Each structure stands twice: as structure tokens, then as C-alpha cells.
Structure 1
Amino acid sequence: MRVVGFIGPSGSGKSHRATWVARERDIDFIIDDGLLIKGNSIVAGTSAKKEKTKIGSIRRALFTEESHAEDVKRALKLYKPEAILILGTSDGMVESIAKKLELPNVTEKIYINEVASELEIRQAMYTRKEQGKHVIPVPTFEIKKDFSGYFLDPLQIFKRKGKGSYQLVGEKSVVRPTFSYMGSYTISDYTIYQIIEYVVSNIEGVARISRFRAENHPDGIYIDMDLVLIYGYVIRPLLAEIRKKVTEEIEKLTALNIKTMNITVKSLIVEKKEPAN
């Protein structure tokens, strides 16, 4: 197995350029911040960006927890990659990760200043310092379930094909970890209820919510609600519309991932018709 290190200071743009660097060198696997990534998919590991403290994030990235390291080692044995790119802030970090995961010695090292200009590195570090943004080199849909409650932004990468013409070559995700903020934030279950009540009350065919329950878990929120509908509307399409609109608004306004949403129609009411003049 060929092991290549990609090295640069924290926030200098390594994760942003990792996919391109790997593709240029025919490398299919990347190790970045505790994750083993193959192409656009996370195949093993836990992201260091989920840690609540910076120290915890560093420990996660270095695979100091045995169960975390074992998870990635099992995946490496299963996939048997021909080459792998390890991201790190120093030569020592890259070599330490390779040793921890029982990989061969790092035979090639690429430094961020070899693939990015000084201006690009400064801009990346400014964004990290001032806005707390971190890049994960996989599409947003791939990490959404694992980063419920975090602020996620898709970052699409284009390549110029000609004058005024661009081709989408990949997507990465921008995440703002807890340790990038001063303090923490919480969103109460009642806030979730108020958003859903507003959405549902504006859907034609729904009378009201008769029961509501929300549970916030690390992988997302679990919602149970009973509805009273208006007689005369086709129920299945109506419930599909409710599910779609509720999911869109909750994810847009709170960044929370809805893991499950159970909707029960408890009763129907008949609207009184206004007498004809």
C-alpha cells in the first residue's frame, strides 16, 4: 500500500483540496479528521468535528481511542486500498496516524503550499479563525445524519470547461463545530412544535395537531404527532405533503436532521358549508 501525507497548518485548506490532490495521484482513500473516506462516501470512523472541545477534536483526529482506531483498521482490511492519503498538520501527525492504524510508512509528503497559493492559504485561515468553518471532503447528504443540529453548508466545486461554461466536479461540506463557538446553543422541543404547528396550519386539509412529541437525539429528532384532518381530502397524498413541508422547514430553520416522523390521523371533521345566498 502506498501511503501519502498531505500536510499543512490547521485551517489552511487541506480538506478543501484533499479530493483534488487524491485524484491527481490516483488515490481512492483519504483519512481526514478521524474519518476514512472513499470517493464521496464515509466508510468508517467518527469525525473530529463532532467533538465538543478542541482537545477532544485533536485526540479524535489522532485515533487515540482504541475502538475508533479498530473501526478504521477493520475497514482498511476489508477494502485493501492500493493507496491512501492522510491529512495532518505536521509530518509527525501524519506518521503517528499511519502507525496507529498499522499502515506502512509514509513514502511521499505533499505540503499545502505546493498546491495552494499564499493568498489562498491566508483566505482559508481567515475563514477558519473568523467564522469557525471547517470543510469535510464529502457531500452534505453523506454527513447530514451524523451532524444533526450543526450548521451545514454544501460547497460545490466547479471546473471551467470553456468560456462561460463550467462542470460540477464534486461537492464538499462546510460544518461549524461546537468548539468553534463561544458557548453552546440548544433548540427546545417547544420551538420544534411551534415551527411544525405553523407549517401544518397552513396546509389545506389539516384542522389541527391533537398530540405532539419530539425527542432530540445525537443522530436527529424523532417526531410523533396525531392530526385531525378535514373530511374530503385524499389522506395519503396529504400526509406526504405534510411530511415533505415539515422536513424542509425544520432542516432549514434549525439544521436538525429528522430521523423519524410518525404521523397518525386520529379523526376527521366535516367543515360547515356556508349557506348559498
Structure 2
Amino acid sequence: MHVYALVGSSGTGKSHRAVRLAYELHCSIIIDDGLIIEENRILTGTSAKKAPSRLGAIRTALFQDDLHQQQCQEAIRQANPSGILILGTSDGMVNRIAERLGLPAPEKIIQIEDIASDAEIRKARYNRSQRGRHVVPAPALEVKKTWRGALIDPIRILFRKKGHERKTWTEQSVVRPTFTSLGNLSISTPAIIAAVTHQLQGMAGVHGIDDVEVDHLDEGMSLDVKIHAEYGIALHHLGHSIQQALRQVFDESIGVPVAAVNVTFTKLHLSDR
């Protein structure tokens, strides 16, 4: 078994480049932030990005929980890969991960600066620090199975196989972690209701807002909105517009994942004209 490592400080784009590097090194398994990823599926593990604190994230990434460690060791044993790529923020970290999982020390450690330009690293840092965008080197469907609320967007990466003209694609997922270096973010229910009211007031077809109820689910926030609508408006189009507007303002702008937006029309108002 060949073990390699990709090292770089947080936010420099390691996870984004992991799939391509693993392909070039003939590694079928990537170990990243507490996850064991085999090609297009997450075999097992717990993402450090789900941890509620920085300390918890570090413990998860280093497989310090015994049950987590054992599950990941067993998954690697059953997969029996010829090559593994470990991601970490330092040489010491990737060596500790290898030791914790019973793997040989990495025979080669690649620095992120070796495979990414200064401009690419600056862009990755910006996406991490300013936009809270983190990459998991696994398809969106895999991420949704265990952590749907964090998913922002899937991204596709182009490959050209060596010695062939045929192009292939692979998918990764952009997520918003539970814990970031900026601290924890919480928005109160009254603030959410105020944001909903502000967003919908003045929208064409909306005469008024009857009620807003907020429910916090594991996969994200659920909104139940009761609306007074203008008579003559196509209600199915208006309902869809309301759903899209609220999902966009919360999921994309404010950063709160939205699991559902339920719209009920409680009253129709005739036009004054």
C-alpha cells in the first residue's frame, strides 16, 4: 500500500485539489477531515466540519474518538486500496492520522504550493474566510445523506485521462461548516420572522403577511408562511416566487440552510381599481 499526503494551511484549497491529485497518484481513497472517501462515495467517518467547536473539529480530523477510529480502520481494511491520500494542515498532522489509523507513514508529502499557484491559494483563502465556503471531495448526493443542511452547491471538475482524448468529470461539494474560525452564528426566531416580512413586503401579488412560523430541523430551517394575496394572481406562480425568494435570502445571503418553505394563502384581496 502506498500512502501519500497533501499538506497546506486551512483554507488553501487542499480538498478542492484532492480528487485530481489522488487520480494522478493512483490513490482510490482520500482521508479528509475525518472522512474516508473512496472515489465517488463516502465509505465512513464523521466530518470535522460538523463539529460544534474548533477543538471538536481537530479531535475529529485526528480520529481521536476510539469508535470513529475503529470504524475507519475497518473500512480501509475492507477496501484494501493500493494507494491512500491523506490531507492535513502540517506534516505532523498527516503522520498522526496515519499512525492513528494503523497506516504506514506517508512516503511522499506534497505541499499545496507545489500544485496550486499563489493566485489560486489566495482565491481559496477568500472563499473560506469571506464566504464560508469549504469543499468536501465527494458528490453532493453523498454529502446530503449525512449532512444535508450544510450543502451550498455541487461543483464539477474536468479530467483528461492520460493518453486519451476523452474528457471525464467528477463532482465535489461546497458546504458551510457548523463551526468556523469566525465563531458560531445564531439568528433568533424574531429576527428570522423580521427578515421574512421584510423580504415579502412589496412583492407583487402579496397583499399582506398573516403569520410566519419557524421550525429548526436537523437538515435546516423550515418556514411556514401564511399570505394574503391579490385576487387575480396565479397563486402557484406566486407561491413558487415566495419559496425561491426566501430560500435565496436565507440559504445564500444570510447563510442559514433552508429545508422547506411552506406557503399557505389564507385570504384573497380584490384590487382597489
- TM-score, L = length of structure 2: 0.71
Match of 1:180 in 2: 181
Unpaired runs of 5+ residues, structure 1, are: 161-166
Deviation per CA, 1:18-68, whole angstroms, max 9, x where unpaired? 222101122232111112234465453332234344332221101112343
Q: CA deviation at 1:106?
A: 4.5
Match of 2:270 in 1: 271
Distance 1:113 1:227, change over 3 A: closer
Contact map agreement 1:88 1:94 (CA 8 A) in 2: yes
Match of 2:110 in 1: 111
Contact map agreement 2:51 2:57 (CA 8 A) in 1: yes
Q: CA deviation at 1:246?
A: 1.5
Are residue 197 (structure 1) and residue 223 (structure 2) matched? no
Secondary structure of the residue that 1:268 maps to in structure 2? strand
Unpaired runs of 5+ residues, structure 2, are: 161-167
- TM-score, L = length of structure 1: 0.70
Tell me the distance in 2 between the aligned counterparts of 1:114 and 1:228.
57
Q: CA deviation at 1:261?
A: 2.4
Contact map agreement 1:4 1:109 (CA 8 A) in 2: yes
1:46-195 matches, cutoff 5 A: 46-73=46-73, 75-76=75-76, 81-90=81-90, 93-102=93-102, 104-106=103-105, 108-112=107-111, 115-116=114-115, 120=118, 127=125, 131=129, 135-138=134-137, 146=147, 148=149, 173=174, 178-181=179-182, 183-195=183-195
* Matching residue's letter, 1:200: L
Contact map agreement 1:40 1:139 (CA 8 A) in 2: yes
Secondary structure of the residue that 2:214 maps to in structure 1? strand
* Number of equivalenced pairs: 262
Which protein has the larger Cα radius of gyration, Structure 1 or Structure 2? Answer: 1
Match of 1:210 in 2: 210
* Matching residue's letter, 1:111: I
Match of 2:252 in 1: 252
What's the Cα RMSD here? 4.2
Tell me the distance in 2 between the aligned counterparts of 1:146 and 1:38.
18
* Matching residue's letter, 1:34: G
